[in-house]
């Protein structure tokens, strides 16, 4: 992403391709500048030269990736640091690090290979491969597959073809331990070398075999410095024979993603999946990164709510920001 232009400009997410339906009716993502939402701790960024950005680790710096869209859900680029305000538990914070550049990314792909995926597996593979094509030099990715059990199929690699090759061998069987797959992916993400981290879940969302509960995973994703996106591969809700887990799947994936500042997208038709993958890839590549040192540096492990506010540029349609809902302060223990 480039920020040389003074006035914001718009990037269409998938020209010529219909975008998949967003889960707006299932969970309220933090998109209104007047509503609270937040992010987790991560390393800071500092410019090292023209067009370059580097990060160094400092435990008390909070880093917030922010996506900005217009009323037509198109990405808005070209905003400046002065166009953003940050509130931590209602107290405004100075933005000390700002970037509109596309910086290296660590991605975890959590892929559902349970029996319920069945005939969805081929198109899901294709969508995952499309997402992997968006990786740049310096990016890295891993592949976790989950069904009855959770397996690390490919550890962090800078060679996406390793993951594509593993996906071609995947066969549907067993039940769906989705929440366990998310937990495993968050644990694996601790090995990431890049400051920006995201897990992309590809699943029909029908968890019926996890050891972890939705409440436990909600606490984990709030604590993790990882954005979660979901590619939901769903049968139409009016389909006969759907289990309760399959019916509740869209809501479950949406709630997990919303906690992290990511988003969940639905595909009820196989042809929707490429546009879902494209949307997620473009969003990950077109984010602002804001960093601040909290004025309250009490190391009590308490959860902080962060609000991102936008200054409306003259002549622009109404803008919306998407960001993480909160972070936990470090603890002395």
- Looking at residue 137, its pLDDT comes to 93
Q: CATH classification of 105-285, choosing from 3.90.1150.10, 3.40.640.10, 3.20.20.60, 3.40.50.410?
A: 3.40.50.410
- Looking at residue 331, its pLDDT comes to 83
- Looking at residue 10, its pLDDT comes to 67
User: 132 — phi, psi (to 5°)?
Assistant: -65, -25
- Looking at residue 82, its pLDDT comes to 94
Render 110-151 in DSSP notation, one character per residue.
Answer: EEE-SGGGGGGHHHHHHHHHHHHTT--TT-EEEEEEESSSEE
Query: Which residue ranges does the chain devote to CATH 3.40.50.410?
Result: 105-285
Residue with tokens 């509503």: 35
Helix (H, G, I), strand (E, B) or coil at 193: coil
- Looking at residue 253, its pLDDT comes to 80
Query: What average pLDDT values come out for the chain (333 residues) when binned by 10 residues?
Result: 51 40 35 36 37 51 91 90 96 94 92 91 91 94 97 97 96 93 96 94 86 87 89 63 58 82 81 86 92 92 93 86 88 76
pTM: 0.78
Residue with tokens 């405004």: 92
Cα–Cα dist 228/199, whole Å: 5
Q: How many helices (H) and strands (E) does the chain have?
A: 6, 19
- Looking at residue 102, its pLDDT comes to 84
CB atoms within 10 A of CB 26: 17
Give 209-213's long-range contacts (Cβ < 8 A, gap of 24+): 209/114, 209/147, 209/148, 209/174, 209/175, 209/176, 209/177, 209/180, 210/176, 210/177, 210/178, 210/179, 210/180, 211/177, 211/179, 211/180, 212/179, 212/180, 212/182, 212/183, 213/179
Label residue 184 exposed, middle or buried (CB < 10 Å: 0-12, 13-18, 19+).
buried
Give the residue among 37, 45, 82 at the shortest CA–CA distance from 323: 37
Cα–Cα dist 100/35, whole Å: 23
Radius of gyration of the chain (CA): 19
- Looking at residue 235, its pLDDT comes to 60
* Distances 274 to 39, 106, 111, 159, 278 between C-alpha atoms, Å: 28, 21, 16, 21, 6
- Looking at residue 247, its pLDDT comes to 56
Dihedral (CA of 254, 256, 257, 261) sign: positive
């Amino acid at each position: 992403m480039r920020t040389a232009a003074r006035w914001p400009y718009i990037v269409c997410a998938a020209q010529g391709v219909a975008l998949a339906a967003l889960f707006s009716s299932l969970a309220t993502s933090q998109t209104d500048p007047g509503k609270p939402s937040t992010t987790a701790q991560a390393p800071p960024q500092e410019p090292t030269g023209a067009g370059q950005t580097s990060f160094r680790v400092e435990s008390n710096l909070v880093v917030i990736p922010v996506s900005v869209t217009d009323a037509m859900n198109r990405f808005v680029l070209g905003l400046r640091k002065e166009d953003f305000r940050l509130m931590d538990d209602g107290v405004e914070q100075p933005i000390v690090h700002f970037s509109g550049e596309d910086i290296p990314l660590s991605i975890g792909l959590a892929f559902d290979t349970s029996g319920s995926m069945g005939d969805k597996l081929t198109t899901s593979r294709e969508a995952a491969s499309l997402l992997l094509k968006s990786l740049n030099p310096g990016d890295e990715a891993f592949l976790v597959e989950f069904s009855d059990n959770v397996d690390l199929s490919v550890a962090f690699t800078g060679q996406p073809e390793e993951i594509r090759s593993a996906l071609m061998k995947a066969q549907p069987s067993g039940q769906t331990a989705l929440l366990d797959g998310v937990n495993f992916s968050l644990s694996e993400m601790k090995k990431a070398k890049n400051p920006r981290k995201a897990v992309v879940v590809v699943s029909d969302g029908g968890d019926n075999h996890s050891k972890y509960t939705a409440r436990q995973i909600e606490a984990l994703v709030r604590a993790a410095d990882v954005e979660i996106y979901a590619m939901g591969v769903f049968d139409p809700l009016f389909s006969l024979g759907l289990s309760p887990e399959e019916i509740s799947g869209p809501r479950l994936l949406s709630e997990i993603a919303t906690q992290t500042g990511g988003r969940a997208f639905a595909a009820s038709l196989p042809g929707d999946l490429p546009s879902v993958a494209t949307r997620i890839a473009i969003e990950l590549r077109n984010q602002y990164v804001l960093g601040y040192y909290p004025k309250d540096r009490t190391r009590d492990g308490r959860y902080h709510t962060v609000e991102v506010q936008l200054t409306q540029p003259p002549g622009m349609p109404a803008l919306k920001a998407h960001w993480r809902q909160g972070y936990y302060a470090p603890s002395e223990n």
